[in-house]
Chain A
Amino acid sequence: MVLFEDVSKVYEDGTRAVDHLNLEIAKGEIAVLIGPSGCGKTTTLKMVNRLENCTEGTIKVEGKDITKVNPVKLRRNIGYVIQETALMPHLSVAENIATVPKLLGWKKSKIQKRVDELLELAGLDPAKYRYRLPDQLSGGQKQRIGVLRALAADPDVVLMDEPFGALDPIAREKLQNELLQLQKTVKKTIIFVTHDMDEALRIADKIVLMRRGRIEQVGSPEELQQNPANDFVRDFIGEDRLSQIFPDTSVEVVVQDPRIKVSPKMTAADVLDIMEDEGHETAQIVDSYGKWHGMALLWLLKRAAKQNEKVTKGAKKDRRLYIEDGTLRDAAEMLADQDLPIPVIDENGLFRGVVTHAGVARLTISRLTRYRGKEGK
């Protein structure tokens, strides 16, 4: 589907970003390019839609040499997602998704149908999100829309350059799963760039490990884990920050952004509205100086709202950990007692994030799978 034949890229300043690359990516496959920063992943990707032209070799998409195709036409047939999302800030969600179909001159009704269909596919209610601006979306939602935009005109090939790189681990994992789910129905040929080995192992059919513009090894996640071609590959896969983690490790490693933060000035009723709308059980109350004022709980809020109180009246302040001395063990114990997020603050009372059950579980699971991978080799 996508074929690199002895492809090299030398930039004008003499940088050899890609060096004699040979690679075949099959139809319907997710190929993940991974490697240290500056190894030529982005360059490789950009050569496929000719945002950069290769200086040697040929790239073929569906058997056709891409230099023989008009670049504008070529790009309209290849989806493109980048880390910065790059949704057009002046256009609504629907218009953003409709970008390529519009360029291709689809009929208005067909575009509208397609947009709604895609939004539904991503679990976003079209009636609610169609006319939102990108500014009015969360980071994860923006990235979802970015992916939908790339799929809108039903291209066969989709290029993704660290699409989930800017998201927190929980949101990232969620989007990875959604992408895999989506891929089952759409069956695209996807070239996906990432920095994150966990991500590569999770989503790749084929991992392409690069270094200094060259390919070190190509193979399925299992192949790379079980038969690393050389020390570099072994180190890169084995590079294991997780093995450094013990029960006495600071809770810092699992702190994440909370789903929702509210100001202590808000009324209990307003916060209750937001939480019920979005299905949150808890909300962190943080003022504009970053100071933590407690964790609002749904049932406490309901009572406070009836009495027309401020949100702080519906909050709990005794459940918390200090980032300076809280350990994973402490977090695990607290979570075992009660399955609510644990707010983490520092000694100045500033809010640092939360620890959740899912966060700790994720860490444990990654550790286990990692060790299994290591023993297998």
Chain B
Amino acid sequence: MLNQEPFLQLFLKYITRYWPRILELTWQHLFISLIALSITLVICIPLGIYLTKNEKLSPYVIGAANIFQTIPSLALLGFLIFIFGIGNDNAIAALFLYAMLPVLQNTYTGIKSVPRHLVQAARGMGMTEYQILVKVQLPIAMPIILAGIRVATVWIIGTATLASAIGGGGLGRLIFSGLASIRNEVVLAGALPATILALTADQGIKWLQNYLDPKNRAIRLAQKAEIDELQKTAAQRGRE
């Protein structure tokens, strides 16, 4: 109770004084997370698709991703120092390994969950294998894949705070130095933006999930058609 007033004041003072640095670290944090996420998506989605066509490999690959996911994140960072040395590269590699599983697994199960008769019908109508993937399997699996991406994104943003422990940047810097110097206002100045980033990303993907939902898409299609129709009749009337 006694501490509350001074703590808030301390915190406000800290952020008014150091906001450019906090902003820069937030930007770094976001940057590291985005790179790690992009690498995860670029590797894991195609890999997941590949596994649906080579089922025999899937237990091994998904098993491996599972192992990485089980290693405590700080320990994983520690191991990776031997490979990548100290710095952001290491952190990004670790984040990628850490976040692989949900994207890989959900891509794989998402595509496997597309009913066989739909694929068969698509093939029977004359779609090429590529068209089947892009026009049928991926769109139908999209909610499941997006759910995996959502989990991975939140993990990455959260775990990226550990990057500073191995010499990387990001909001972890503030958190760790705050902890080391027992200055809670500094810890909060790092933790708060990190939390906001994670929550925003989470909500953003949730919005995207909603936007891509076939029901909402159908509603948009219908509305667009209605507007087009109105414009057409208006234009006709204008001509007359």
Q: Do A and B come from one complex?
A: yes
| Chain B residues within 8 Å of chain A by Cβ, number | 26
Tell yes or no: B120 within 8 A of A by CB.
yes
Tell yes or no: A336 within 8 A of B by CB.
no
Q: Which of B74-82, B126-134, B175-183 contacts A (4 or more CB under 8 A)?
A: B126-134
- Point out the residues of chain B lying under 8 angstroms from A10, CB to CB: none
Q: Which of A12-20, A58-66, A71-79, A302-310 contacts B (4 or more CB under 8 A)?
A: A71-79
Interchain CB contact under 8 A, A103 and B126: yes
B55 to chain A, nearest CB (A): 16
- Point out the residues of chain B lying under 8 angstroms from A75, CB to CB: 123-126
Tell yes or no: A82 within 8 A of B by CB.
yes
Given known contacts A86-B118, A133-B214, A133-B215, A76 and B126 CB-to-CB distance under 8 angstroms: yes
Interchain CB contact under 8 A, B118 and A88: yes
- Point out the residues of chain A lying under 8 angstroms from B215, CB to CB: 133
- Point out the residues of chain B lying under 8 angstroms from A100, CB to CB: 125-126
Tell yes or no: B140 within 8 A of A by CB.
yes
A351 to chain B, nearest CB (A): 29
A341 to chain B, nearest CB (A): 32
A377 to chain B, nearest CB (A): 39
B123 closest partner in A (C-beta): A51
A39 to B214, CA, bound (A): 39
Given known contacts A80-B121, A103-B131, A131-B222, A88 and B126 CB-to-CB distance under 8 angstroms: no
A239 to B238, CA, bound (A): 68
Interchain CB contact under 8 A, A84 and B115: yes
Residue-wise interface mask of B (10-27) relative to A, using a CB-CB cutoff of 8 A (1 in contact, 0 not): 000000000000000000
Interchain CB contact under 8 A, A89 and B117: no
Given known contacts A84-B115, A89-B140, A90-B139, A51 and B120 CB-to-CB distance under 8 angstroms: yes
Total number of residue pairs linking A and B with CB closer than 8 Å: 68
- Point out the residues of chain B lying under 8 angstroms from A99, CB to CB: 125
Interchain CB contact under 8 A, A72 and B120: no
A84 to B140, CA, bound (A): 17
A3 to chain B, nearest CB (A): 20
8 Å CB contact of B218 from A51, A73, A133 = A133
Tell yes or no: B227 within 8 A of A by CB.
no
- Max chain A C-beta neighbours (<10 A), residue from B121, B123, B225: B121
Interchain CB contact under 8 A, B214 and A90: yes
Taking CB atoms and an 8 Å cut-off, the chain B residues in 210-232 that contact chain A are: 214-215, 217-219, 221-222, 225
Given known contacts A99-B125, A103-B127, A130-B225, A82 and B120 CB-to-CB distance under 8 angstroms: yes
- Point out the residues of chain A lying under 8 angstroms from B117, CB to CB: 82, 84, 86
A316 to chain B, nearest CB (A): 36
Tell yes or no: B136 within 8 A of A by CB.
yes
Interchain CB contact under 8 A, B221 and A131: yes
A75 closest partner in B (C-beta): B126
Interchain CB contact under 8 A, B121 and A86: yes
Tell yes or no: A141 within 8 A of B by CB.
no
Tell yes or no: A92 within 8 A of B by CB.
yes
Interchain CB contact under 8 A, A80 and B125: yes
Interchain CB contact under 8 A, B115 and A73: no
A134 closest partner in B (C-beta): B214
8 Å CB contact of B124 from A49, A91, A92 = A49
A208 to B149, CA, bound (A): 52
Tell yes or no: A370 within 8 A of B by CB.
no
A88 to B117, CA, bound (A): 10
A54 to B217, CA, bound (A): 42
Interchain CB contact under 8 A, B120 and A103: no
Interchain CB contact under 8 A, A80 and B225: no
Closest 10 CB pairs of A and B: A76-B126, A86-B121, A75-B126, A80-B124, A131-B222, A84-B117, A90-B214, A90-B139, A86-B117, A131-B221
Binding site for A on B (CB under 8 A): 115, 117-118, 120-128, 131, 135-136, 139-140, 142, 214-215, 217-219, 221-222, 225
Binding site for B on A (CB under 8 A): 49, 51, 72-77, 80, 82, 84, 86, 88-92, 99-100, 103, 130-133, 149, 159
A-B contacts, 22 listed (Cβ < 8 Å): A51-B120, A51-B123, A51-B124, A72-B126, A73-B126, A75-B124, A75-B125, A76-B126, A77-B126, A80-B121, A82-B124, A84-B121, A86-B118, A86-B120, A86-B121, A89-B118, A90-B217, A100-B125, A130-B222, A131-B225, A133-B218, A159-B124
